[in-house]
Structure 1
Amino acid sequence: MSDPAWVEHAIWWQIYPLGFVGAFPADPPPTADEHRLRRVAEWFDHALELGASGIALGPVFASQTHGYDTTDHYAIDPRLGDDSDFDHLVTEARSRGLRILLDGVFNHVGSEFGRHREAVAGGDDSWFRKGRNGLATFEGHGGLIALNHRNPEVVDYVVDVMLHWLRRGADGWRLDAAYAVPAEFWAKVLPRVRSEFPDAWFVGEVIHGDYAGIVSASTFDSVTQYELWKAMWSSLNDVNFHELDHALTRHDQFLETFVPLTFVGNHDVTRIASQLSDERHVGHALAVMLTIGGTPSVYAGDEWAYRGVKEERFGGDDAVRPEFPVHPGESEHLGHDTFRLHQHLIGLRRRHPWLHHARTTALHLTNGQYVYRTSADEGSLVVALNVDDEPLRMPLAKLGFGSGRVVAGSGVPPEDVVDHLDVEPHGWAVLTV
C-alpha cells in the first residue's frame, strides 16, 4: 500500500463547488467579482464539527458549463472567483488543519480549450485523439474533446498543471474519468509529480474493472470503490446480504494492494437517503462505510439526510448538486439525527485509525442478517446488521467472543458490557470485543 502517512487519518467532506455556491446552473452566471468560492470556506467549521479532516473539491478551474469541460487548467473558474479566492480557501483550510483535494479533468477538455480552438482553425491537432469523423469525444459528448495521452506534450502539460496547484497548497488530486485514460499515461505523469511532492495523494475515478491491476499499472494511490457503493445500498434494498459479503470479500483483496476511496454518495449518484427504499437503513450503510478498510468520503448534504435523484438526461445531475446557503446556520437541517450519527461513527473511526486498513470476516450471514468482524493487528470490532422484521439475537460465545461493549447502534443508549447480541428489527450495532 502506497498511501502517504497522513491518509490513514483522512476523512473527506466532498463538495461540488459550482453547484454549492449557486454558480451552475445559473442564469445569468455569477462573475469573478462576486468571489463565490469564498463561501466554501464559510463551511469549514461545519466540516470540522462533522469530524472531517479534509475537503474534496469538485472542479474549480475555468470551464464552459458543469466544470468537466475545462478551458484553462491554470485559472479559477470566473463564476467562482479568482486566484486570490483559491488562496483564501487554502489559508482558511490550513488554519483548521484541513487538507485540500482537487478534481483534475485530464481525460478531455472543453471545446473552448485554447489548443482545441487552434486545431479547429486548422492548426496543430496532435493534442487530441482522432475519431471517425474528426477529433474523438468522451463517451459521445460533443463538448468534451478527448486528449491524446500518447503525446509527450500532453504528459508535460498535466505534470505542470498538477505541480502548479500543489505548489499553491493542494494536497492531492482526484483524477476524473481515470478509467478512460491509458494507465501508462498516469505512470509517466505521477512519478514526476511525486518527485517534488512525495506526500501528495492521487485517487483515480474508476467505475469497475480490475481495481488492483489499474492501481499497479497507473501508480495511483487509490481508486473509487464503486463496487462496494453499489453493494451497500442494493443489498439493503433487496434484503440480500450475500451481495454485501461478496463485495467485502473482494474489498479485502483490494486492501492487499491499496486502500480504496469509500463512499455512500457523491456528486454523480443518487443520494443515499433517496437511494434506499427504507429510510431506516441509512444507518446500516453508514455503519458499513465507517467500520471497514478504506478512505471514507461524505458528500455534502448527506450528513443532513438531503435527498436527490440523479437522472440520465440533460440537467439530470442538478438535483444532487444543489446550492447551499452562504453560512451553515442558514441551512435547512433536514436530519439532525443523521448528522449526529455521522459525527458518532466518524468519531469512532478516528478513535480507531487502524480501521483504514482493517479486514472483514463474516461471522453470521443470512439474507436479512449480517454480522462481521472488522480487525487489524491493533484491534477489532463486531458489526451486526439486521434488515429482517425479526430481531437478531445470539450469544457472543456463538461468534467466538466472551463479551463485548456496544459502542454504536440504532438502539440507544448503548449498553456497557454484553455477552449477547440483541439487535431490533431493521437495526444495527457496533461492539468492541
Structure 2
Amino acid sequence: MDKLIIYQLLPRLFGNAQIRNKVNGSIEENGVGKLNNISDKALQEIKAMSFTHVWYTGVIEHATMTDYTANGIANDDPDIVKGRAGSPYAIKDYYDVAPDLAVDVNNRIAEYEALIQRTHNNGLKVIMDLVPNHVARTYASDVKPADVRDFGQDDDKSKAFDPRNDFYYIPGQSFVVPSGYNPGGDEFQSPLKDGRFDENPAKATGNDVFSARPSINDWFETMKLNYGVDYMNGRYGHFDPIPPLWNKIYDILDFWSKKGIDGYRCDMVEMVPTEFWAWVIPKLKAAYPGTIFIGEAYDKNKYGDYISRGGFDYLYDKVGLYDAIRRLTRNDYGASTWEINNVWNTHCHGIDQHMLRFMENHDEQRIASRYFAGDAWLAVPGMIVTATMNTGPVMIYSGQEVGEPALGNQGFSGDDGRTSIFDYCGVPEHQKWLNNGAFDGVNLSESQQNLRGFYQKLLLSVKNNEALSNGLFYELMMANEHQPGFDQLLYIYLRYTAEQRVLVIANFNRTERAIIVKLPDDLLNKLNISGKTAFTDLLSGVKFNTVDIRNGVQVKVLASGGLLLAF
C-alpha cells in the first residue's frame, strides 16, 4: 500500500470564520463550521499539499447543549455534556450526523453524503471516527434503520453484567452527576441545568468506572458498552455466542461504508476486546475491500497483537516516536535521538510500517503553544523524522501547518495548549488561511506562508520519492557517532530502493551543525555506489558533492532543521 498522508480536521472548526471566541460562547456567538464549508477549493488545496486521506473528526451526532428541538431532536441534559458544543466522542446517535454541521439541519445526512462524494471527486479518501467503547448517556437513535435494535433496548437492567446486555449496570443505584460541574459556565441557563440526571439504574462510565458516582475527572458524560467482558469478575470474556453488541457495531460500520467511507479511526481500541476486532475487521473488509482501520492505542505491549490478530492496518505511535520527538523538540533535559532508535528497535520491531506518526492531533497540545515548543518552526526536524522514517502513515492536524498556538481559554477545554473539541470557537491562525472560504492564505504572515511551504515540500517529497514512500530504512547513527560534529541531537538514516536513495539528517540542536556523514562500506557496496556523488536537498534544492563517497558527505544543517539528500 502506498504511504498514507492524512489531514485531520474537525468540520466544526475548519470552516468557522467567526473570530469572536467568547469563553463558553454559544453557537450564535462563536459560530461553527459546516460540512458545506469544506468546498471543492478547500479540498483542492488539501490535495495540493499531497494529502491522500482526510479524517473528518466529530461528524456523527453527539450530545450538545444547543437546542435543536425545532428539528425534532431531543435536548441533552447539560449536566452530562462537556462544553457548549459537546464532546465529539459522546455519540448520541450512530446513524446520524451532528446538526451543528448542517446548513439545513433536516438535510444533514445528505450534506455529509455530498461531502464524501466531493472528497472523492477531488482525489482524496475519507476516514471517519468509530467510537466503540462508549456512547453519550442520552444515546437514542431516532433515524436508525427499521430493523436495527437500539443500544440497551433489550437489556436486563437487573443484572450488573450479562453478555447479552449492551451496557453495564449498577443495580439499585441511581446515577449521580459529579459535584462542582457548572455546565456552560454561569451565563448558560437551561431548565435541565439542575445538577441531576435521571438514570436508574446507573450505567458504568466510559473509562471503566463501575460506580453510580463518577468523578468530574472521569468520562462521566458517557456509558461504557459491553462486548462480553465481565470486568468485575476477572475480566473474563463471554464471546460464545457472540454478544449482540458485536453485530450492532458491525451494522453501524456497514451503514457508513455503504456511503463510501474508506477507513475508520477507532477510538481507544484497548478498551474493547481484541476478539471483537479480530471478528469485525475481516468481516467488514470482506464486504468492503480496501477499507483501512487505524487504532488509537497506547499499550505498546499489545501492538503486535492488534496488528497480527486484531486486523488493524495501523496504530498510533504516541508513546513511542511522538513522545521521543516531543522531548527533542522541547529541548528537554536528557533528550536524545538514540530514543528514536529505541522506538523501532523495541515495541515497534517488525511492525514499524504499521505505525501512524504525528506531532499534533486533537488530543495533543499544539506545537506552537507554550505548553509544547512555543514556536512552530522548532518542529521542522521532528516532522522530517515523523514523515520519512518508515512507510507507515503520517498525519497533520488542521492548523498545524500555519503554526496555530491554541491561545487562551475557550470554555470547558480551558487554557491547555489544545484547540478545544468541546466548545464553539474559531482557530485564529487557521482562519487566516481560510480567509472566509477563499482558502488562499492571503492573510498569513510571511513566516506562516514559509511554514506551510515547508510542510508542502516535505509531504510532496514523501509522496513523489519512492525511497521515502516505499523504501527500506538503514540506520546511520552507529556509523557516525564518532564523527566530528556528531552529537545526540542529530538523527541520521537512509531510505532507499533500487532506483532512489535519500539521506535524511535531522538536527534538533538550536544551533547549526556541521558534520561529515559516512555511509558504511557494506551499504555502499550493496547500493553499488562509489566515487564522486552529487546530493540534492529535496526541501531547499541546495546541492552537495563529494569527491569520493567513501570519505563521506560534508554538510551543514541549520539549527532546528534538516536535509533530505537525494542521490
What TM-score, normalized to structure 1?
0.86
- After superposition, the Cα gap between the structure-2 partners of 1:236 and 1:244, relative to the gap in structure 1 and judged at 3 Å, is farther
CA-to-aligned-CA distance 1:1-44 (integer Å, 9 cap, x gap): xxxx3xx14211110223334599761479xxx99211123521
Residues in 2 aligned to 1:171 and 1:406: alpha-carbon distance in whole angstroms: 36
Q: Name the amino acid aligned to 1:106.
A: P
Q: 1:51: which partner in 2? A: 50
Q: Percent identity, please.
A: 20
Give the C-alpha shift of residue 152 in structure 1. 2.2
Residues in 2 aligned to 1:378 and 1:392: alpha-carbon distance in whole angstroms: 30
Residues in 2 aligned to 1:142 and 1:200: alpha-carbon distance in whole angstroms: 32
Residues in 1 aligned to 2:56 and 2:474: alpha-carbon distance in whole angstroms: 30
Are residue 241 (structure 1) and residue 341 (structure 2) matched?
no
User: Which residue of 248, 270, 292 corresponds with 2:365?
Assistant: 270
User: Which residue of 333, 353, 356 corresponds with 2:444?
Assistant: 333
Give the C-alpha shift of residue 214 in structure 1. 2.3
* Higher Cα radius of gyration: 2
Give the C-alpha shift of residue 192 in structure 1. 1.3
- The answer to whether the 8 A contact 2:294-2:312 is kept is yes
Are residue 342 (structure 1) and residue 455 (structure 2) matched?
yes
- After superposition, the Cα gap between the structure-2 partners of 1:235 and 1:246, relative to the gap in structure 1 and judged at 3 Å, is farther
Residues in 2 aligned to 1:98 and 1:276: alpha-carbon distance in whole angstroms: 31
- After superposition, the Cα gap between the structure-2 partners of 1:40 and 1:280, relative to the gap in structure 1 and judged at 3 Å, is closer
Give the C-alpha shift of residue 299 in structure 1. 0.7
- The answer to whether the 8 A contact 2:293-2:314 is kept is yes
- After superposition, the Cα gap between the structure-2 partners of 1:70 and 1:26, relative to the gap in structure 1 and judged at 3 Å, is farther
Give the C-alpha shift of residue 89 in structure 1. 0.4
Give the C-alpha shift of residue 395 in structure 1. 3.3
1:359-374 to 2 correspondences below 5 Å: 359-363=473-477, 364-365=480-481, 366-374=487-495
Q: 2:507: which partner in 1? A: 386
- After superposition, the Cα gap between the structure-2 partners of 1:407 and 1:188, relative to the gap in structure 1 and judged at 3 Å, is same
Q: 2:299: which partner in 1? A: 208
Give the C-alpha shift of residue 109 in structure 1. 0.5
Unmatched segments (≥5 aa) in structure 2? 64-85, 103-107, 141-149, 174-201, 208-217, 229-241, 482-486, 525-530, 547-552
Instruction: Report the secondary structure of 2:221's partner residue.
Output: strand
| Structure number having the greater strand percentage | 1
Are residue 217 (structure 1) and residue 217 (structure 2) matched?
no
- RMSD over aligned CA atoms reads 3.2
- After superposition, the Cα gap between the structure-2 partners of 1:252 and 1:127, relative to the gap in structure 1 and judged at 3 Å, is closer
Q: 1:19: which partner in 2? A: 13
1:2-401 to 2 correspondences below 5 Å: 5=1, 8-22=2-16, 27-28=26-27, 36-42=34-40, 43-64=42-63, 65-81=86-102, 82-114=108-140, 115=150, 126-130=165-169, 134-139=202-207, 140-150=218-228, 152-210=243-301, 211-226=303-318, 227-237=320-330, 238=332, 239-250=335-346, 253-255=349-351, 258-274=353-369, 275-276=372-373, 279-293=376-390, 294-308=392-406, 314-316=412-414, 319=419, 322-323=426-427, 324=431, 325=434, 326-327=436-437, 328-329=439-440, 332-333=443-444, 335-357=448-470, 358-363=472-477, 364-365=480-481, 366-376=487-497, 379-388=500-509, 391-397=512-518
- After superposition, the Cα gap between the structure-2 partners of 1:203 and 1:106, relative to the gap in structure 1 and judged at 3 Å, is same
Give the C-alpha shift of residue 148 in structure 1. 0.4
Q: Which moved more, 1:315-324 or 1:420-429?
A: 315-324
Q: Name the amino acid aligned to 2:419.
A: A
- The answer to whether the 8 A contact 2:382-2:506 is kept is no
Residues in 2 aligned to 1:88 and 1:331: alpha-carbon distance in whole angstroms: 28
Q: Which moved more, 1:95-104 or 1:215-224?
A: 215-224
Residues in 2 aligned to 1:243 and 1:213: alpha-carbon distance in whole angstroms: 23
- The answer to whether the 8 A contact 1:10-1:54 is kept is yes
Residues in 2 aligned to 1:305 and 1:147: alpha-carbon distance in whole angstroms: 38
Q: Name the amino acid aligned to 2:329.
A: L
Give the C-alpha shift of residue 254 in structure 1. 4.2
Q: Which moved more, 1:102-111 or 1:381-390?
A: 381-390
Give the C-alpha shift of residue 291 in structure 1. 1.4
Q: Which moved more, 1:387-396 or 1:93-102?
A: 387-396
Residues in 2 aligned to 1:128 and 1:377: alpha-carbon distance in whole angstroms: 54
Give the C-alpha shift of residue 228 in structure 1. 0.9
Q: 1:405: which partner in 2? A: 535
- The answer to whether the 8 A contact 1:362-1:372 is kept is yes
- The answer to whether the 8 A contact 1:59-1:104 is kept is no
Q: Which moved more, 1:381-390 or 1:279-288?
A: 381-390
- The answer to whether the 8 A contact 1:292-1:356 is kept is no
Instruction: Report the secondary structure of 1:141's partner residue.
Output: coil
Residues in 2 aligned to 1:203 and 1:149: alpha-carbon distance in whole angstroms: 20
Unmatched segments (≥5 aa) in structure 1? none
Residues in 2 aligned to 1:348 and 1:200: alpha-carbon distance in whole angstroms: 26
Q: Which moved more, 1:365-374 or 1:351-360?
A: 351-360
Q: Which moved more, 1:136-145 or 1:238-247?
A: 238-247
Figure out how many residues of one structure are paired with residues of the other and give that number: 421
